[in-house]
Structure 1
Amino acid sequence: MAPPPGQTPLPDWDGLKLRVRTLIASHRVMIFSKSYCPYCNKVKELFHSMRVEYYALELDVIDDGASIQQVLAELTNQRTVPNVFVNGTHIGGCDATYQAYQDGSLQKLLGDSNNTEPFEYDLIIIGGGSGGLACSKEAAALGKKVMVLDYVVPTPLGTSWGLGGTCVNVGCIPKKLMHQAALLGQALQDSRKYGWQYEEQVKHNWEIMVEAIQNYIGSLNWGYRVSLREKSVTYLNSYGEFVEPHKIKATNRKGQVTYHTAETFVLATGERPRYLGIPGDKEFCITSDDLFSLPYCPGKTLVVGASYVALECAGFLAGLGLDVTVMVRSILLRGFDQEMAEKVEQLEQGMPGRLKVTAKSTEGPEIFEGEYNTVLIAIGRDACTRNIGLETIGVKINEKNGKVPVNDEEQTNVPYVYAIGDILDGKLELTPVAIQAGRLLARRLYGGSSRKCDYINVPTTVFTPLEYGSCGFPEERAIEEYGKQNLEVYHSLFWPLEWTVPGRDNNTCYAKVICNKQDNNRVIGLHVLGPNAGEVTQGFAAAIKCGLTKELLDETIGIHPTCAEVFTTMDITKASGQDITQKGC
């Protein structure tokens, strides 16, 4: 019987119930969904990552979607979407589906033999840097079976290294030691003013320095291998690549391949230096991956880039007495752009040889040509994520930079894959951050912890000849976050006492604290440019984590005479415009 004109016909409830039951019975995985629902999309991503086909009925795009949702509510007592069924069994919504995945009941319902077989490992970590090693040892200490895969793809010049990642081999450790070598050279110059007399001509021997540093790094590499063995962590010097969900291919230097499975994976692959993409860059130039083990003194050096790596390397090379030029986009060298370099040509082979660099000015039509013994490229780094099979298992990356988006628990869009360290999208690229994140991740996965890595108020230092340390917000970022009217910035120049006798420049060192006036003048940023800035910043970082205020700084008695005491005596604000130059130490 037809309904009266103008009235909506009543649903055929019996027909709808039959339709819903048929959909559930005829599909291995049936998802009742809505196209705009993020939780529905998350469930679909889960099944996609497991390579399990599903059928999704989008209730918001069909005429009787609301009626079907009402039938589902009567059938399952669940009124929300997604509403998931596996082989006829009702699973539930997004949280219930993920919980079933985590406890293995979802895999059992699917009846997939690949998933019901036991995994070879609880955890496989791809990358043997600081973060990966920390995570692996923590997970092993919590009783899990763990494997670490670490493989260093040689640079275009053939440089490679051992276990430990960038920091240990071609980053923080050798950088700081070469920085120290440069500081010792400055100290030698200063020493004459302090009464030290010596007749011998003082010169630096690059080969002796590199050998000593590489010997120390070698001892660290060995120590890491021993530590993994003691923790019963399996270590493979092999290149890891996903070939299917929960399965990875490992290829060693001889091309031998093995396959391994794990319940959970952690990506800790780090980054490698970027090249210019111009003729001669990979053939004739070096990067920081080559510099620290370079078997000969680089001689007259052009450093291309304005990154902290560029400035640190340029700083210690100059401190060792080399002729160093920095080519940057900004006003540091006025007019030359690292992305505008056109080519590098070899004029003469040798150790070092001679290179001709051609570049174009950014301020006019001028062409720059210069001859150098070494060209060091330091224009940034790329995440090592594009060739490890992430697309095979559906892990999403930021296509612009190759970095991996994660949630606040370092989990990727694929539930069993996590990521830590420099490859995280939008996170700090610092070794201690990777170590902390790795340890806390293992404790959350296997130790019942809920503590997450805190990416706020992380202290760091750039080890240029005059070190720069910081913790918290830069002033520009603080203004964006809080508004200039809500901030008070205190600052001061200072003269280290040890610089006075040799007559090194006064009013070069600088300190600044940024305070939030709306929160009891709490310190939200601290910056120092001066000797031992890293040591100074580390202590204040702990205080900032504890809620340091300007009043507490003022009440703190300084240690005299030190550089750090400047933070206990600052009373001039930037807003006042008063002179901050110092007449004495």
Structure 2
Amino acid sequence: MAALCRGRHRWKKTDCFHILTRALTGKHEYDLLVVGGGSGGLACSKEAAQLGQKVIVLDYVEPSVKGTKWGLGGTCVNVGCIPKKLMHQTALLGTAVKDAQKYGWNISGPVSHDWSTMADAIQNHVRSLNWGHRVQLQDKKVKYLNMKGSLLDEHTVKAVTKAGKETTLTAKNIVLATGGRPRYPTNIPGAMEHGITSDDIFWLKKSPGKTLVVGASYVALESAGFLTGLGLDATVMVRSIALRGFDQQMAGLVTDYMEAYGTRFAWNSLPKRVDKLSSGALQVTWVDTQTGAEQKDTFDSVLWAVGRAPETKALGLDKVGVQINEQTGKIVVREDESTSVPNIYAFGDIGEGRPELTPTAIQAGKLLARRLAGQGDELMNYDNVPTTVFTPLEYGCVGLSEEEAVRKFSKDGVEVYHAFFKPLEFTVAERDVSQCYLKVICERHRDQKILGLHFTGPNAGEVTQGFALGLQCGATYSHLQKTVGIHPTCAEEVTKVNITKRSGLDATVTGC
């Protein structure tokens, strides 16, 4: 151990003191040390504390390139799920106001939206959640430090304050749950200097105005969707396909609806540079990948939504030998969330091959805490995790996409039941229903086990959540047929679906 302290890492005397003391006594300051105060890290720490563990959480938010910073709670609370859903709701309310007139409501005068009023309300709600998380940790006797954490060995972490003050902490087990941050493209002049990301959009005090959203992930489409719904000019620049990794038929329905809704799309386009003009406007130059033609347009804001990078670089993983995937930067984890180094665990967005979803991180964190406390042995089940894309026409799904099912079972081994349906609430408002669609993907043979369910329509998340339970329980198409629907709802259409793609029959639902 003394040799280690004299080695290439050049440990400070205080670090060596903690390491040597722990080695000699076999005692640690904490049972569990969690690096990362996002949804997963908080869930893990609180669960462990309830099971009698002595727990500490380190969390520190590096400001975004544009200087945006926030409090405890991670991406979901501050710059993800929560503000995103509230801005989506704001946009839905705008559409509802238009629909209301068809239902007899007298709307006097022009309807307009004030960004600052919405932003203040949402940001105040987020701050209340930040405070709530701190109170919960205190109530559950979890120590919280607003400090950066990095590994010194399998039981030791160096914690550093904003001012640079260092502390060394030891724990029996260390959990890494630092999540990820949006990427900027590194090969486009002006991208970082003039662009923003999802780390910034939700904390803007003023409207972003005419906005170019670069990327076709769910983050890109959701952002462009609510901007359009707020009455702003929004364009999505797509290199190849939208919603990569999702069912591509459903992705097409989502983007078709968005185009009809008013969102512009620049398909097969690659940005080359962003320049700020003397007027203050941002001039974006891009290339059509099919024709090679160069195009330009000006925008008030450019939002980069081209993927996320795991927050692993500052964790000191190389010092202790934690294995990462060199291409993705994510930590290689086993099914029990353990890493290549004993007593060090990782889960959530930084885990290689793990879904980047808040609920999976929360569940994985709780189960890990129980295992580490010797109070359980259940592993996280990452199969059949439901999710929803909160675009203007919402898209919910659980299980396999049609492409995945065909790859796994062959085209002849899969039966797809589908339906185009008309939400009752769209009828009086005379809204376009051509993209309201659902499909249930089943094994064709044996008992026709349901492999995947996909739904585009109102309240897609609420619809999908209930059916996700069925997939967890091994539901079959026969189970679905025996389920009585609630009338009149969109969800009941799932229980009534009976036309197969293979048949070639018209899948449009008629009647009630």
TM-score (norm 1): 0.79
| Match of residue 96 from structure 2 | 187
Matched AA of 1:503:
E
Give the Å deviation of 1:244. Answer: 3.3
Describe the SS at the equivalent of 1:387.
Answer: helix
| Match of residue 298 from structure 1 | 208
Gaps of at least 5 residues in structure 2 are: 8-18, 243-264
Give the Å deviation of 1:582. Answer: 4.0
**1:18-417 matched pairs, under 5 angstroms:** 114-117=22-25, 118-277=27-186, 278-330=188-240, 333=265, 335-337=267-269, 340-348=270-278, 353-417=280-344
Give the Å deviation of 1:212. Answer: 0.3
Give the Å deviation of 1:328. Answer: 0.8
d(CA) in 1 for partners of 2:209, 2:464:
34
The 8 Å contact of residues 154 and 343 in structure 2, kept in 1 or not, is answered as: no
Describe the SS at the equivalent of 2:72.
Answer: coil
Give the Å deviation of 1:208. Answer: 0.4
| Match of residue 14 from structure 2 | none
| Match of residue 262 from structure 2 | none
Give the Å deviation of 1:334. Answer: 5.5
Please say which structure displays the higher CA radius of gyration: 1
d(CA) in 2 for partners of 1:242, 1:112:
16
Matched AA of 2:385:
V
d(CA) in 1 for partners of 2:233, 2:266:
18
Deviations 1:262-314 (A, max 9, x none): 11110100000000112212221110000001010011000000110000000
| Match of residue 491 from structure 1 | 418
Alpha carbons of structure 1 residues 376 and 521: separation in structure 2 relative to 1, 3 Å: same
Please list every run of at least 4 consecutive aligned residues from structure 1 whose deviation after the TM superposition is greater than 3 angstroms.
111-114, 331-337, 582-585
Question: Would you say 1:536 and 2:445 are equivalent positions?
Answer: no
Alpha carbons of structure 1 residues 519 and 383: separation in structure 2 relative to 1, 3 Å: farther
d(CA) in 2 for partners of 1:198, 1:485:
54
Give the Å deviation of 1:256. Answer: 1.6
Give the Å deviation of 1:445. Answer: 0.8
Deviations 1:343-365 (A, max 9, x none): 1111257xxx4111111221123
Matched AA of 1:211:
D
Question: May I ask how many residue pairs the two structures share in their alignment?
Answer: 473
The 8 Å contact of residues 507 and 581 in structure 1, kept in 2 or not, is answered as: no
d(CA) in 2 for partners of 1:381, 1:142:
34
Give the Å deviation of 1:391. Answer: 0.4
Give the Å deviation of 1:120. Answer: 1.4
Matched AA of 2:296:
E
Deviations 1:150-194 (A, max 9, x none): 111101110000000000000000000000000000000000000
TM-score (norm 2): 0.90
Question: Would you say 1:456 and 2:364 are equivalent positions?
Answer: no
Deviations 1:518-540 (A, max 9, x none): 34111110010000000000000
Describe the SS at the equivalent of 2:124.
Answer: helix
d(CA) in 2 for partners of 1:574, 1:549:
18
The 8 Å contact of residues 495 and 508 in structure 1, kept in 2 or not, is answered as: no
The sequence identity of aligned pairs, in percent, is 56
Give the Å deviation of 1:541. Answer: 0.6
Matched AA of 1:273:
P
The 8 Å contact of residues 496 and 562 in structure 1, kept in 2 or not, is answered as: yes
d(CA) in 1 for partners of 2:178, 2:511:
49
d(CA) in 2 for partners of 1:408, 1:365:
46
Give the Å deviation of 1:116. Answer: 2.9
The 8 Å contact of residues 39 and 358 in structure 2, kept in 1 or not, is answered as: yes
Give the Å deviation of 1:331. Answer: 6.0
Matched AA of 1:495:
K
Alpha carbons of structure 1 residues 520 and 364: separation in structure 2 relative to 1, 3 Å: same
Matched AA of 1:169:
N
The 8 Å contact of residues 182 and 319 in structure 1, kept in 2 or not, is answered as: yes
| Match of residue 353 from structure 2 | 426
Question: Would you say 1:436 and 2:369 are equivalent positions?
Answer: no
Alpha carbons of structure 1 residues 425 and 167: separation in structure 2 relative to 1, 3 Å: same
d(CA) in 2 for partners of 1:188, 1:462:
23
Matched AA of 1:305:
G
d(CA) in 2 for partners of 1:399, 1:544:
34
The 8 Å contact of residues 119 and 261 in structure 1, kept in 2 or not, is answered as: yes
Give the Å deviation of 1:584. Answer: 5.5
| Match of residue 523 from structure 1 | 450
Describe the SS at the equivalent of 2:502.
Answer: helix
d(CA) in 1 for partners of 2:328, 2:288:
27
Gaps of at least 5 residues in structure 1 are: 1-27, 29-47, 52-110
d(CA) in 1 for partners of 2:240, 2:497:
31
Describe the SS at the equivalent of 1:526.
Answer: strand
d(CA) in 2 for partners of 1:180, 1:443:
36
Higher relative contact order (CA 8 A, sep 6+): 2
d(CA) in 2 for partners of 1:283, 1:584:
55
Give the Å deviation of 1:260. Answer: 0.9
CA RMSD of aligned residues (A): 1.8
**Segment of structure 1 superposing worse, 414-423 or 255-264:** 255-264
The 8 Å contact of residues 388 and 397 in structure 2, kept in 1 or not, is answered as: yes
Matched AA of 2:379:
K
Give the Å deviation of 1:453. Answer: 0.6
Describe the SS at the equivalent of 2:480.
Answer: helix
